[in-house]
Amino acid sequence: MKPTPMQTIPLKQSRTLRIEILRHNPADPDSHPHLQVFEIEEAETMTLFIALTEIRQTQDASLQFDFVCRAGICGSCGMLINGRPGLACRTLTRELPDTIRLAPLPGFELIGDLSVNTGKWMRGMSERLETWVHRENIEAIDIDAVEQRMAPELAEQLYELERCIECGCCIAACGTAQMHEDFVGAAGLNQIARFRLDPRDTRSDADYYELVGDESGVFGCMTLLGCEDYCPKNLPLAVQLAFLRRKMARQGL
């Protein structure tokens, strides 16, 4: 079988992109939020990671943004791209119009320009929801012995929920999270669903109810489902939230 030539969608024609960035540096008392416009020549297979790096290197060295893996894996680069939350590193410019407006994810502390402190938010969520396996004597497990068995399908289901990369897109897309600062959001509720499913975790529904059985938890969700629409990992958030709500409602009776 002869391979096909490398498939790339041909560029319409070489474009000049107009990139408008919402800028603000809280470390500078004279800074105030404003849009700054940059123009760059589009290149083939250009991603927003490449475009922003180029702008920083050739036009404005003070521009702040966060990229780590640049492969859609680590969750660092969530931002609003023409108003929609998404991962900038894997967004190809050829899929965007000539004018691209970028803004930091709302709902998180601003570090500067496109950089927001999702890490702090997520750590707070983990501490609050205790997103780890709870079991007796976890410090004294026998690591010489053969591991406990688990149904192969269950391991796969757990991974399905474990794929969250804590990018914050679901929080930025969530009406409740934008209005109520202490709402744990889909990212948090998904963690509860994940540990609830895990037989290694000995917590009961009563314990989970303590954590999320109120308006800042599962009953705060207005089922607008922006979270699922914008989740870059396509996590089954709507189903999980509905399921968890039913379980928690029963628990609350």
**Which stretches of the chain bind ligand FES, using CB under 6 A?**
67-70, 72-77, 87, 89
Kindly state the smallest distance separating residue 69's Cβ from ligand FES, in Å.
4
Regarding 42 and contact with other proteins (CB under 8 A), the answer is no
Please give the DSSP secondary-structure letter assigned to residue 168: S
The residue with tokens 């967004």 is 91
Kindly state the smallest distance separating residue 115's Cβ from ligand FES, in Å.
12
Kindly state the smallest distance separating residue 175's Cβ from other proteins, in Å.
25
Single out the residue of 213, 215, 248, 210 nearest to residue 134, CA to CA: 210
Kindly state the smallest distance separating residue 231's Cβ from other proteins, in Å.
13
CA atoms within 13 A on the CB side of 187: 28
Regarding 3 and contact with other proteins (CB under 8 A), the answer is yes
Binding footprint of other proteins, residue count (CB under 8 A): 77
Q: Which does 162 bind (CB under 5 to 8 A by kind): other proteins, ligand FES, none?
A: other proteins
Binding other proteins (rule: CB under 8 A), the pick from 9, 35, 206, 224 is 9
Is the CB of 48 or the CB of 192 nearer to ligand FES? 48
Is the CB of 72 or the CB of 220 nearer to other proteins? 72
Provide the 10 A C-beta neighbour count for residue 49. Answer: 20
Q: Which one of 11-19, 74-82, 97-105, 179-187 is the stretch in contact with other proteins (CB under 8 A)? A: 74-82
H or E stretch including 188? Answer: helix 185-197
Distances (CA, A) of 134 to 28, 119, 185: 44, 23, 22
What residues between 150 and 209 interact with other proteins by CB under 8 A? 150-152, 155-156, 158-159, 162-163, 165-166, 198, 200-201
β-bridge partners, 99: 18
Please give the DSSP secondary-structure letter assigned to residue 166: -
Is the CB of 29 or the CB of 253 nearer to other proteins? 29
Return the structure tokens found at 52.
């922003």
H or E stretch including 185? Answer: helix 185-197
C-beta separation of 52 from 65 below 8 A: yes
What residues between 121 and 160 interact with other proteins by CB under 8 A? 122-123, 126-127, 130-133, 135, 138-139, 141, 143-152, 155-156, 158-159
Single out the residue of 95, 6, 85 nearest to residue 42, CA to CA: 95
Binding other proteins (rule: CB under 8 A), the pick from 18, 22, 25, 242 is 25
Regarding 120 and contact with other proteins (CB under 8 A), the answer is yes
C-beta separation of 19 from 51 below 8 A: yes
Is the CB of 11 or the CB of 175 nearer to other proteins? 11
The residue with tokens 């030539």 is 5
Return the structure tokens found at 216.
């800042």
Regarding 210 and contact with other proteins (CB under 8 A), the answer is no
